[in-house]
Chains A and B, each alone.
Chain A
Amino acid sequence: MGIEQLNHNFLTGKLEDVVRWARRNSVWPATFGLACCAIEMMAAGTAHFDLARFGMEVFRASPRQADLMIVAGRVSQKMAPVLRQVYDQMAEPKWVISMGVCASSGGMFNNYAIVQGVDQIVPVDVYTPGCPPGPETLMHGILTLHELIRTGEITRRRIETGAGAGLTVDRPVAVGTPK
């Protein structure tokens, strides 16, 4: 059967674009609730805000099955190694959203106990402002991430500038994307 017999029901595109499109539409977040923001993250997943619209309602309990880590809340000095370990256990390609000011910059807790920004530990792709960010804000962050995945912006930025924490990236964060 030759390809000329197929008249409709198919699209053509670069493999790269198709992969990005598929990745964008099936981001699976890990449950990484830490503090107040975790409650809003849960609220975003329930019926009222319905994260399922974006193909993301399945919060995975195991980091091995997830490719997005939403760091929801303040990261203490005691939690930081655990967070890093969970991040390392996630499969590539993976993304991180820093949810709320505490995760992004330490927020109002500029003291001995809190890591002043989770980007000191893991590379962050999207920062979500607010204390806590409402579910709408989180969704905006998620859609921003989707757009970054779709356009390949993340991989370009990483490879060219080495942005993010730059602590461990011993392999490219997203593989298979040229430039």
Chain B
Amino acid sequence: MTQTVETPTLDTGFPVLKGGIESLRDPGAVLRIPHLPESVDEVPTDDETMIINMGPQHPSTHGVLRVMLELRGETVLRCKPVIGYLHTGMEKTGEDLTFLQGPTNTTRMDYVSPMFNELVFSLATEKLLGLEIPERATWIRMLMCELNRMSSQVLWLATNGMDLGAVSMMIYGFRERESILAFFEKTTGLRMNHNYIRPGGVAADLPDGWRDDVRKILDVFPGRLDDYETLLTGQPIWQERTQGIGIITADECAALGITGPILRSTGVDWDLRRDDPYLFYDQVDFNVVVGTYGDTFDRYAIRLNEIRESMGIIHQILERMPAGDYRAQDKKVTPPPRGRIDESMEALIHHFKIFTEGFKVPEGEVYVAVESPRGELGCYLVSDGSSKPYRMHIRGPSFVNLQALAPMIQGGLIADAVAIISTVDPVMGEVDR
């Protein structure tokens, strides 16, 4: 793994796979074990190999992921993730909820970064509506998303640390996450599953004193990140367990549709915030952190440093947050202010209609993608002109990224499997939806 890796440039695009398509058809190279039935019992195995199941109830599989591993000794020959243990039917339920209720549904998909799920659904709805939202609402969305990115990456550091035996990282990571969740609770009323970002803006304005709260978070974090670096980055055990483990190449990522930190760890600087800007990301400065080797250590370093980049973005948001409305003043979409409901019968009726019938969204179909902490989070939305989506599909990055598991684990040691599963950062709510 120590050979120099050519950083692919975006101008040339990607060549075909080095080993040709056949390289991906090796056993275990993709999300399947070819020509094998689902039932493990019927598999005619070589005497030397053994198939073991990790999960679905396993402490290190990040939720209810089941991974079938075929081993020879301690070496993993093939790997197949089995998913669906958390299938919630959210896409079906989404067809039964109005566009205003939609974020309550999507926010429960990726429960580690709920803001992004709300955001992508809201952006898709607004694109169908052709609705412009006020500047302040956009900046608030960016603020909440970047804070959420920090809490998500910190949670990943915590669980990844625990998976590799660095239990103190677990305690530190959750401590930092609590500080962000306290701000979320103050703003949205909930620690998770906020339903804060809605079509037309956000649910409520930022609370009084929000700048101080955010500054307090930003003041504490840099020192804590340095602590993590001391605890993990330079530590020989950590390096031994992560460097050169779970390597994936840029070509494999492109072929498998992998996005997010896994793609960036291979040296491809691809970040939708910069390359397909949404909100006001084209107005803030930040770096896209990339790796070189595509191994577990690179992905760790990328996620750690993305927290720093998010903090830089939040500093800029703090400076630039304008005054104004926190939701669009479009009577079709926005309920009247609370105060008016008490005085005006029309306002009461208006409020009632928006929350029971919902608003009608013009016919059409649209695909919108945002950069979640795990990769490209997309929403494909079809409207038939009524107040409910005709079809709502979420492209969860974890669902696609899980396909990287097989090429990364194959040929490695069983002890590294846990590190590699952790480094994909799958959130099963989003994988199974």
Contacts and interface: CB of A to CB of B under 8 A. Distances in A.
A67 to B, nearest CB: 16
Given A35-B111, A35-B429, A111-B89, A47 B193 contact: no
Interface residues of B, number: 34
A86 B85 CA distance: 14
Interface stretch (B25-33, B171-179, B221-229): B171-179
B263 interface: no
B89 A114 contact: yes
Nearest to B108: A36
B171 A38 contact: no
B170 interface: yes
Interface stretch (A17-25, A70-78, A161-169): A70-78
Interface string A43-67: 1001110000000000101010000
- Which of B86, B112, B178 gathers the greatest number of chain A CB atoms within 10 Å? B86
A159 interface: no
B431 to A, nearest CB: 11
Nearest to A132: B192
Contacts of A40: 191-192
A103 B178 CA distance: 24
Contacts of B89: 109, 111-114
A143 interface: no
A36 B428 CA distance: 10
Interface stretch (B54-62, B139-147, B285-293): B54-62
Interface in A121-138: 131-132, 134
Contacts of B171: 46-47
Contacts of A38: 63
A174 interface: no
A12 B84 CA distance: 53
Contact of A39 (B87, B93, B111): B111
Contact of A113 (B64, B88, B104): B88
- Which of B59, B105, B170 gathers the greatest number of chain A CB atoms within 10 Å? B59
Contacts of A112: 89, 92
Contacts of A86: 57
Interface stretch (A2-10, A26-34, A150-158): A26-34
Q: Is the interface of A mostly helix, strand, loop or mixed?
A: loop
A108 interface: yes
Contacts of A48: 174-175, 178
B84 A39 contact: no
Nearest to A112: B89
Contact of A78 (B58, B84, B112, B174): B84
B379 interface: no
B220 to A, nearest CB: 14
A134 B64 CA distance: 21
A114 B432 CA distance: 12
A108 B104 contact: yes
B394 interface: no
A38 B432 CA distance: 16
Contact of B86 (A32, A46, A73, A134): A73
Interface string A99-120: 0000000001101111000000
Nearest to A76: B87
A74 B86 CA distance: 7
A108 B102 CA distance: 12
Contact of B170 (A46, A76, A82): A46
A173 interface: no
A148 interface: no
Given A48-B175, A108-B104, A111-B92, A76 B111 contact: no
Interface in B84-110: 84-90, 92-93, 104-105, 108
Contact of B63 (A34, A43, A61): A34
- Which of A33, A39, A59 gathers the greatest number of chain B CB atoms within 10 Å? A39
B193 A34 contact: no
B258 interface: no
A91 interface: no
B328 interface: no
B392 interface: no
Contact of B174 (A42, A59, A74): A42
A36 B174 contact: no
Contacts of A46: 170-171, 174-175
Given A42-B159, A43-B177, A48-B178, 14 more contacts: A32-B57, A33-B63, A36-B111, A36-B429, A39-B155, A43-B174, A63-B57, A76-B85, A77-B87, A79-B64, A108-B104, A111-B88, A114-B88, A132-B192
Interface of B: 56-59, 63-64, 84-90, 92-93, 104-105, 108, 111-112, 155, 159, 170-171, 174-175, 177-178, 191-193, 428-429, 432
17 contacts: A33-B63, A34-B63, A34-B64, A35-B428, A36-B192, A38-B63, A43-B178, A48-B175, A63-B57, A73-B86, A76-B85, A76-B87, A79-B56, A79-B64, A82-B85, A83-B57, A109-B90
9 closest Cβ contacts across the A-B interface? A113-B89, A36-B111, A46-B174, A111-B89, A61-B59, A79-B85, A48-B178, A31-B59, A47-B171
